[in-house]
Amino acid sequence: MANVVVVGAQWGDEGKGKVVDIYTEFADEIVRYQGGNNAGHTLVVGDEKVVLHLIPSGVLHEGKRCIIGNGVVLDPEVFIMEVERLKKAGRLQDDQTLLLSESLHIIMPYHKRLDIAREAKSGDKKIGTTGRGIGPCYEDKIGRRGVRLMDLVDPVIFSRKLRENLEEKNILLERLGEEPLVYNEIYRTYQDFAQTLKKYMADTALVLSKELKAGKKLLFEGAQGTLLDVDHGTYPFVTSSSTCAGGAATGSGISPRDIHEIVGISKAYVTRVGSGPFPTELLDENGEKLRQVGAEFGATTGRPRRCGWFDAMVIRYAVRINGLTGIALTKLDVLSDFDTIKVCTGYRFEGKELETLPARLETFEKCEPVYEELPGWKSDISNIRSFEELPEKARNYVRRLEELSECPIVLVSVGPRRDQTMLLKNPFEA
């Protein structure tokens, strides 16, 4: 038996949704442990394209239970719309297969308004936030002002907390040049949301504890990526939660000892959305080629992603910070039409080779990537289903990434569909 955590090993958008969808076949419960609807998973099942923002990818498998843990911040409107869309498509037929932690925090209208207003005032110092209210919601959580799901479903407690928060938030909004929010409108709307949400509410930490004792296999799904972790990422160009593997324990209520395997998802190249350092970024025709061939546009925002060559420094850092036991390599097929492919093996700063990623942002921004050049395979690999059948140069590329990453590659993806996946090692059988 094994419990598995799936994390992004780069700056997010690595294809975690697809990998979780693949691994769900071997799990009993799928748990989302951090982030909010600023994340997006795009899945292709047969000819159907499904985009999820809050509900774990495992919902597409019949008989699997999906849990949204206490580390997530939830926009009720987005969640309800997602549930309705899944039900309409016949993907969610039993409400008992979806649970919400009673302790998760609720995104309020003032969070979204503050998020957008602050970013608009930031000028050339913009973080690149999605404007979904994620950061301000986590601020209130840490500041002990947050509204939890258990508060939302209690009309008396919710009323008190809403009044207290609006008293402060309206002052901030007015100073930012925004109109104040009205208590009555928010109260009525969110009490309507509460009627829908309360049927999914549970003490999910207790539920997971019982499942672990019963020998069930759990799959934990993170959002974003290691380099966007609020503690270990390229701060301040990060998200507002713990995206690393440690967040699976704090964001769900399980013990760290209950985690057995940790798989980091990495593209065969690298992308990031928003501002911040990106040493291997390509601002030429190669970068545009990666963007177009890889369809590198955000599932949540539609924003074009910045694209660059594979960065082994980033992956080695992710291996160390998360304790990765394996790497799932996605989008290998995107590189099929390149004559040569570069791989960043390290960084140089002021003439000196660096041992790891610099914590200082100003240093990171000035790092010079050290490249190694590998030959491309110049053939379509999207229909290949066995690693041994890949062109020799494609296999050599994967093995070189494995060497540079200092971690075994356990999965290779050559397209967006489920069947375009090579499972080299199953973490649930470890």
* Nearest-angstrom CA–CA distance, 323 and 406: 11
Choice among 41, 105, 111, 232 that is catalytic:
41
Contact in structure between 271 and 308 (CB atoms under 8 Å): yes
Active site residue 151: no
Active site residue 41: yes
Residues 6+ apart with CB under 8 A from 136: 110, 111, 112, 114, 115
pLDDT for res 264? 98
The segments of the chain whose pLDDT lies below 50 read: none
Phi-psi domain of 63 (left: phi exceeds 0; alpha: psi -120 through 50; beta: other): left
Tens digit of each residue's pLDDT (9 = 90 or more) over 294-314: 999 876 667 899 999 999 999
Side-chain half-sphere of 68: how many Cα atoms within 13 Å? 31
Tens digit of each residue's pLDDT (9 = 90 or more) over 34-72: 999 977 667 766 667 778 889 988 888 888 999 999 999
